[in-house]
Amino acid sequence: MIGRLNHVAIAVPDLKAATEIYRNTLGAKVSDEVDQPEHGVTTVFIELPNTKIELLGMLGDKSPIAAFLERNPNGGIHHLCYEVPDIKAARDRLTAQGARVLGQGEPKIGAHGKPVLFLHPKDFCGTLVELEEA
Ligand code: CO
């Protein structure tokens, strides 16, 4: 069912510093910062030949990554995003097997303008999984 690895997301306490590490130290192609107010994060995308890295910085006091950064003050891998051809069909298949979808279970428009869902890490090997319709 799942297809390509769309991106690996890394939550960071200092988005500008993290962007400079990827741009200068690692020599990667990085995007501008984009605020995602409906998701409580600011994102920077790093284009790699075979996938992307999504740097996540906190936006606002109620950012969903605040608790993660409290537990991981230097930052850390936050989620993996896999592509699926039909997100509602994927959700129905997963929930029928007992997997938990976070939030209301309805896809939201994600950072790329496409529908996304998040799956409970306890059901997926301790990893928060994002599904993106692509
Ligand atoms: Co993501």
Question: How many Å lie between the centroid of ligand 1 and the Cα of residue 124?
Answer: 16
What average pLDDT score do residues 49-73 get? 95
Q: How far is CA 107 from CA 50, 75, 86, in A?
A: 25, 26, 11
- pLDDT-above-90 percentage for the chain: 90
Domain ranges of the chain: 5-133
Q: Decide if 20 is catalytic.
A: no
φ, ψ (nearest 5 deg) of residue 16: -65, -45
Choose the catalytic residue: 20, 33, 47, 130. 130
Query: Which pLDDT tens digit goes with each residue over 75-134?
Result: 999 999 999 999 999 999 999 999 999 998 999 988 888 999 999 999 999 999 999 999
φ, ψ (nearest 5 deg) of residue 88: -70, -35
pLDDT bin (cut points 50, 70, 90) of residue 74 is: very high
What average pLDDT score do residues 30-52 get? 95
pTM value is 0.93
CATH of domain 5-133: 3.10.180.10
Question: How many Å lie between the centroid of ligand 1 and the Cα of residue 25?
Answer: 23
